Amino acid sequence: MADGNEKQWFEKDDSAGKKKRPAPSSRPQKRQKKKAPRGGRPNGAPSGRPAGTQGQPRANRVAPNPNAPGKNPQAGKAQRPAGSPSGTPNKGPSGGVKRNTTANRKPTGKKGAQVRGKTPPSAELKDRKKKAQSVKQAPSKKPVKPSKPVKNSKPSEKTSDGHVKLTKGKVDSYTKDRRKRARNRGLKTSIITVGLVFMAVTLLIFVVHHLFNYMAVKPNLEFITSGSVEHTIGARALIVRDEEVVISATEGDLVTQATEGSRVNAGQNIAMVVPSDMEQVVSNLRETQSQISEVQQELIMEGLATGADSIYDNINGSLGPIMDMIRIDAMNGNVSDMSSYSASISVLLSQRETELSGLEFDDERLRVLRNDEAGYEAQLENHAAKITAPSPGIISFKLDGLESELTFDTLLTADASTIRNYINDSVGIITSDLYVKNGENLARIASNEKQYLAVFLDEKNAPATAFEIGTLHTINVGSEGISIGKCVVERVESTSNGLMVIFSTTRYVEDLLDLRTVDIEIVITESSGLRVPISALVSPDYDRGVATIYINNQGFADEVGVIVEDYDREFAIVKPLGDSSVPNLQTVIVTNPSSISPGDKIDN
């Protein structure tokens, strides 16, 4: 049981008959570690339960005496129990301390006036909170003066979502300042944007302008030259030479010892006919000759062969026109003359190899190969039949079987239909055979330098009066890249197939030796003078014979009128108008006048 001075822990509520929880001051001290809520106990109230005997019932435990000496520094003073507003402790019906609970509170009429375990705020604290809530400072560094009240102001209008709708003239200074700053920022952003766009457009124009100037066609300049313009007529010609054939006395492989198209002397060894049991020696000889050619090419590329450059320049000069004609025919889709081009190139390359073999090469590999070549040739000479030239002339191992039929007398005396059949039936390129039979022709020798060309021309473009006997004409052979001048007319006859004309010439016999027929162009008329490209003429009037050209006059394009005397597909012959001295051989003309205008600066 508890002492008489101590209060019991649990008391019954008269009204409800329930046990009430004791006051905080009478709880055991074992729960002092629990932090009391703010404002839950008055100053000086003990915060724990009194120590009791282990196993003692809770109702019989003795509560500690708060007034005992040494226990409470404020002993002897009247203390306010927890939950009391001030002064006198709140006691229950039995004299104990009555706790301020929700059930024991008296209604105050104000919501939230008292909270369990909290002391109601004082009037002074309420005033401070009220003032703090009423005063709102603008978020500006400078203090904002309160705006004057507007007289006769109408109540603020609200939007559909409940916000206050501002009207004109009824905004405070903060809102005005904020709008002003927003306008300034927008204006600044607009100015910067316009500046950037202007800079971008300017840069784009600059780049496009320079790119256009870079990609634009530049004016091409060149000097006026002296030349001629030819008007030609095309035809297919039959070539006839005064030739002597060489007959083989045995059967076997043909090994040539003279270069195709070269000049030989009477009695000179030109070939060997090797029997079939020596085929391996022949193969070794040809392989050795191929290796000799490769070593020579290597030494020439290294610059170790004196005189090789002149040989190459000479042969390349002959190969250049042929290659140009191959390109032109390839672009036009004409492949009929490709075999002729190939034969001509083979002859030139063979001639080059022959000339290069006569050069002195200081190389050990070449000496060994030459010794092998000599050994193989010696073996063949001991077992092969030697062939010598019966007469001097130009040697060729390409045969077509017409060597004995087609002669000079045939062209000069045969009827036109026979000659026409030879032109239609004969092959263009004469080929060679490396295997011959007994009694078969193996070579031919052109005993003189004269050759004949027979053609049939269209009389509408080539009247008979232009080809009188004895007149001289120029014949261009495009496939060979040569122009044969001073060809003499030997025979002229008008036939149902056209005008038959037979020419003779002593030039370029070696170049046409492997050809029986070839396409040619015969020059009908020719004009000479100041020659300019046909593309350089501006607005030419060929009926009146006048045109305009652009010349370079101290760095600027100048327009000059000229007289057009003659022209063809590529060039025109011009001369100055009246007493003018321009153009002349020192005049620089613009060959692509569409790229410039008169008065423009010529910037190349």
- pLDDT tens-digit map of 370-395: 888 888 888 887 878 888 888 888 88
Residue 31 has pLDDT above 80, yes or no: no
pLDDT given at position 174: 79
* Distance in angstroms (rounded) separating the CA atoms of residues 520 and 473: 12
Across 272-285, average pLDDT: 82
* Distance in angstroms (rounded) separating the CA atoms of residues 317 and 444: 27
pLDDT given at position 339: 63
To the question of pTM greater than 0.95 for the whole model, the response is no
Please, are residues 437 and 387 in contact by the beta-carbon 8 Å criterion?
A: no
Tens of pLDDT, residue by residue over 470-495, are 999 999 988 777 889 999 999 999 99
Tens of pLDDT, residue by residue over 542-587, are 999 999 999 999 889 999 999 999 998 889 999 999 888 889 999 9
3 state SS of 329: helix
CA distances from 447 to 243, 453, 488, 511, 517 (A): 6, 17, 20, 15, 20
Please, are residues 591 and 221 in contact by the beta-carbon 8 Å criterion?
A: yes
Q: Is the bond preceding 64 in cis, omega lying within 30 degrees of 0?
A: no
Burial class from Cβ neighbours inside 10 Å (0-12, 13-18, 19+) for residue 40 reads middle
* Distance in angstroms (rounded) separating the CA atoms of residues 15 and 13: 5
- Mean of pLDDT over the chain: 75
pLDDT given at position 108: 52
pLDDT given at position 10: 45
- From the CB of residue 552, how many other CB atoms can be counted at a distance below 10 Å? 16
pLDDT given at position 7: 45
Across 319-345, average pLDDT: 72
333-342, long-range: CB within 8 Å, 24+ apart, which pairs? 337/428, 337/478, 337/479, 337/519, 339/428, 339/429, 340/428, 340/429, 340/479, 340/480, 340/515, 340/518, 341/479, 342/429
In terms of average pLDDT, the best of 22-31, 85-94, 128-137, 512-521 is 512-521
Residue 199 has pLDDT above 80, yes or no: yes
Residue 460 has pLDDT above 60, yes or no: yes
Output the six-digit token pair for 40.
């839950």
* Distance in angstroms (rounded) separating the CA atoms of residues 62 and 11: 14
Residue 350 has pLDDT above 80, yes or no: no
Tens of pLDDT, residue by residue over 156-194, are 555 565 555 555 555 578 788 888 888 888 888 989 999
* Distance in angstroms (rounded) separating the CA atoms of residues 149 and 151: 6
